[in-house]
A and B are shown apart, each in its own frame.
Chain A
């Protein structure tokens, strides 16, 4: 099977996450003002579509991986499943026993927690095999990734829909600026390292 490069995967995920953010900012808020039930359902699940696309890309990436990469994916997915399962079980028991009050909206955290656990574990496992990424030289530079994500978030804040003001808008601006700043710091560190290696 033709290899699916890390760079291809990352560009597609970045694009899908851009669409996801746009859906969350512009489409999803319309749910509350819509009277039609079918439209409500459609708008409600709209942000899930880019996420499903990302899952499809992840599956494609794993299928096109070599045996070592598949092993790292398997370990990372196993750990992610364990973390989400354990947290859900603990949360469920705490909720039933009345210690904490949880409603259905907590489910929104399942995907981010799972992806974070998967990413962190895979990074750790790959380090054991000698590198942070199996396709390190082919992946998007980390600083560019941060700059792009930060830039997109800032752009969305600048083009914010009406009704999004005050704290929420400030939060989006702050997040975008923070991610952008991290990108600048990472770029500067990389440049200093490269200069020290080739003076």
Chain B
């Protein structure tokens, strides 16, 4: 799954640690999601979407299977 998290975070001038703190997860989890190594659970995806003021589909895009 691809996502726009890195771009959205950069637009707001947040570091990975800033975003991690707001989502109440570790910095490494933010990094793993941004690099596509880990797909977040639905509750965390909703939390991310709410934080950026967008819908899940706008941030997370299904990759090629």
Which residues in A have some Cβ–Cβ distance to B below 8 Å?
A: 3, 65-69, 126, 128-131, 133-137
Contacts and interface: CB of A to CB of B under 8 A. Distances in A.
A66 B37 contact: no
23 contacts: A3-B24, A3-B26, A66-B29, A67-B29, A67-B41, A68-B25, A68-B29, A68-B32, A68-B38, A69-B26, A129-B37, A129-B38, A130-B28, A130-B31, A130-B35, A130-B37, A131-B28, A133-B28, A135-B26, A135-B28, A136-B28, A137-B17, A137-B27
B61 interface: no
Given A67-B44, A68-B32, A128 B37 contact: yes
Interface in B28-51: 28-29, 31-32, 35, 37-38, 40-41, 44
Interface of B: 17, 24-29, 31-32, 35, 37-38, 40-41, 44
B25 A131 contact: no
Given A67-B40, A67-B41, A130 B32 contact: yes
Given A67-B40, A67-B41, A134 B35 contact: no
Contacts of B24: 3, 66
B25 A135 contact: no
Nearest to B29: A68
A65 B38 CA distance: 15
Specify the main secondary structure of chain A where it touches its partner: loop
B32 A129 contact: yes
